[in-house]
């Protein structure tokens, strides 16, 4: 198609050599298109841009012969828009379904499908075998999409017919012919979200955004360590209460959270959800970056997990604005995609695409290793600081974040850190029920700090050094 005809302009042996080099360089791009897998070694920015240029030049707004008389023709007022959208001015999706190919945008549609393939291969390399959907919205809104899909009701494959004892389950009568071979049941309109309490406003707002009611399950102080946690029995009992009242509950569990809040026992919750045909969404906002979280996800995925939601910025180092929804249940992902109202900006998808291609598996694995090392450093430094200042490093359960007590006002401590140009620490008072995720008074005033993917040892060294001056 691209005929690089330089015949006769230079000596033949040079021509051959030049075309050979070009072919090797374009080969990297061809490999991505042919294999549709996360590359082992990341691509250079130049090659990624070239690939984006090829793809975006397939969209109809680039058709030099097109006659455009629609109400939406990707007309742009400034060339800056091209840069900002990587030239995918038509966006992605077809009103009412994100993943449906957009006739005006063959290139963007292919780019999106490729991104989802790359994501699946990325997760598979991390031993998580799932279907994946990149979303053009962040974690909270992605959770809202999942809840909204559950609210509409959807068809689920009956993984285990024997345990399908929930009286609310009806065998769907209007299933389409291509899926009649498997047995499907219909989960009718989820209307209440069982939420083991984690004090993040996004999931709470996701629920109200989806037009559903939320039933909180309260945290308790652990008798094992300094964590606050929610016994699975309490989650089950809250769910049973809603079932008894004739409602259709869905459980929204949280895997990743600021300590002292412990991540929910997603494996046990998933078992219960499978046995009782309860939909289950996991908020794994920053779960992909650490193997402790990934192992938990893997175990839960053996049972009932309708979807896991993660952030692209927290895990893949994109600008904020994208999400990843993944699940073994491809049909459910399609339902989620169908829930999105309208067409979407291609940019958050391009961001995900670019991160996957530029990182490559090698770099990501390396970053994961560095995250673990830096988190250990953070722990060591905090233990040291605690010993020197008569404080305690809390015995909490997080592969990302650590807590240290303070005898001063912790809010004041974190404000001082902010003024010392440190972003990220949270200072929480014993009486801060929201910050503690705990309705009673927590045992300590504390400061929490994160060593999440991409963090440098110097960040942790400097942060703890400045903390030592204000704690
Ligand atoms: C970051 C985070 C969110 C919100 O994510 P957005 O991408 O801002 O919507 C929700 N829940 C948890 C546990 C988070 O860490």
CA of 213 to the centre of ligand 1 (A): 19
Q: Is the CB of 196 under 6 A from ligand 1?
A: no
Q: Which residues belong to the annotated binding site for tRNA? A: 302
CA of 94 to the centre of ligand 1 (A): 27
Which segments of 320-393 does DSSP mark as H helices, in order?
330-339, 347-389
Q: Residue 165 has what pLDDT?
A: 42
CATH top-level class of 115-359: alpha beta
Residue 462 has pLDDT above 70, yes or no: yes
CA-closest candidate to residue 267, choices 301, 310, 308: 301
From start to end of 219-296, where are the E strands? 220-221, 228-229, 249-254, 280-283
- For the chain, the average pLDDT equals 93
Residue 29 has pLDDT above 60, yes or no: yes
1 band by pLDDT with thresholds 50, 70 and 90: confident
The tokens of 54 are what?
Answer: 């090829």
C-alpha dihedral sign at 424, 460, 265, 446: negative
Q: Name the pTM for this structure.
A: 0.92
Euclidean distance between CA atoms 54 and 41, whole angstroms: 21
C-alpha 291 chain-centroid distance = 15
The tokens of 187 are what?
Answer: 């989960």
What's the topology of domain 364-470?
3.90.1150
With residue 145 as reference, give the H or E element that holds it. helix 139-152
Residue nearest to atom 6 of ligand 1 (CA): 139
Residue 107 has pLDDT above 80, yes or no: yes
Residue 119 has pLDDT above 80, yes or no: yes
323-346 pLDDT per residue, tens = 999 999 999 999 999 999 999 999
237-259 pLDDT per residue, tens = 999 999 999 999 999 999 999 99
- Whether 343 contacts 92, CB under 8 Å: yes
Residue 175 has pLDDT above 80, yes or no: no
**How many helices and strands, by DSSP H and E, does the chain display?**
15, 15
Residue 184 has pLDDT above 60, yes or no: no
Q: Is the CB of 140 under 6 A from ligand 1?
A: yes
154 band by pLDDT with thresholds 50, 70 and 90: low
Q: Is the CB of 256 under 6 A from ligand 1?
A: yes
Q: Residue 186 has what pLDDT?
A: 58
Residue nearest to atom 5 of ligand 1 (CA): 139
CA-closest candidate to residue 92, choices 313, 350, 353, 354: 350
435 band by pLDDT with thresholds 50, 70 and 90: very high
268-303 pLDDT per residue, tens = 999 999 999 999 999 999 999 999 999 999 999 999
180 band by pLDDT with thresholds 50, 70 and 90: very low
Q: Residue 2 has what pLDDT?
A: 85
Higher pLDDT, 226 or 155: 226
Tell me the DSSP string of 30-89.
HHHHHH-S--SSPPPHHHHHHHHHHHHTTSGGG-TT----SS-----S-THHHHHTTT-T
Place of tokens 């904020």: 320
Residue 181 has pLDDT above 70, yes or no: no
Residue 253, strand partner residues: 282
Q: Residue 96 has what pLDDT?
A: 78
The tokens of 113 are what?
Answer: 């499908």
């Amino acid at each position: 198609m691209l005929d690089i005809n330089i015949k006769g302009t230079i000596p033949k042996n040079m021509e051959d050599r030049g075309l050979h080099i070009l072919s090797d360089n374009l080969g990297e791009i061809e490999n991505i298109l042919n294999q549709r897998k996360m590359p082992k070694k990341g691509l250079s920015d130049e090659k990624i841009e070239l690939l984006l240029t090829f793809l975006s030049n397939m969209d109809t707004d680039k058709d030099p012969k097109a006659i455009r008389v629609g109400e939406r023709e990707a007309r742009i007022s400034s060339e800056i828009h091209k840069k900002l959208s990587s030239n995918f001015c038509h966006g992605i999706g077809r009103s009412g379904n994100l993943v449906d190919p957009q006739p005006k945008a063959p290139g963007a549609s292919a780019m999106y499908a490729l991104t989802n393939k790359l994501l699946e291969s990325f997760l598979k390399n991390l031993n998580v075998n799932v279907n994946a959907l990149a979303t053009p919205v962040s974690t909270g809104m992605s959770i809202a999409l999942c809840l909204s899909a559950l609210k509409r009701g959807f068809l689920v494959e009956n993984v285990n017919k024997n345990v399908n004892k929930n009286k609310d389950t009806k065998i769907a009568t209007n299933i389409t012919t291509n899926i009649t071979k498997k047995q499907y049941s219909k989960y009718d309109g989820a209307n209440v979200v069982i939420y083991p309490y984690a004090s993040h406003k996004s999931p709470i707002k996701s629920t109200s955004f989806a037009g559903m009611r939320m039933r909180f399950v309260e945290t308790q102080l652990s008798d094992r360590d300094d964590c606050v946690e929610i016994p699975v029995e309490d989650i089950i009992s809250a769910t049973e209460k809603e079932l008894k009242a004739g409602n259709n509950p869905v459980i929204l569990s949280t895997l990743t959270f600021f300590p002292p809040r412990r991540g929910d026992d997603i494996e046990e919750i998933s078992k219960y959800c499978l046995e009782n045909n309860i939909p289950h969404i996991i908020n794994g906002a920053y779960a992909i970056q650490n193997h402790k979280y990934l192992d938990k996800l893997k175990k839960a995925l053996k049972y009932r997990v309708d979807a896991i939601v993660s952030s692209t910025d927290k895990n893949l180092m994109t600008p904020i604005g994208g999400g990843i929804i993944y699940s073994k249940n491809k049909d459910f992902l399609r339902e989620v995609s169908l829930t999105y109202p309208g067409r979407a900006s291609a940019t958050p998808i391009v961001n995900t695409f670019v991160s996957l291609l530029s990182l490559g598996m090698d770099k990501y694995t390396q970053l994961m290793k560095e995250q673990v090392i830096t988190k250990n450093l953070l722990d060591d430094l905090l233990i040291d600081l605690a010993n020197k200042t008569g404080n305690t490093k809390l015995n909490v359960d997080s592969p990302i974040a650590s807590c240290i007590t303070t005898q001063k006002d912790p809010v004041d401590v974190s404000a001082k850190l902010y003024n010392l140009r440190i972003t990220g620490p949270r200072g929480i008072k014993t009486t801060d029920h929201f910050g503690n995720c705990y309705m009673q008074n927590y045992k300590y005033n504390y400061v929490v700090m994160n060593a999440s993917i991409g963090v440098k040892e110097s960040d942790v060294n400097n942060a703890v050094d400045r903390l030592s001056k204000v704690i």
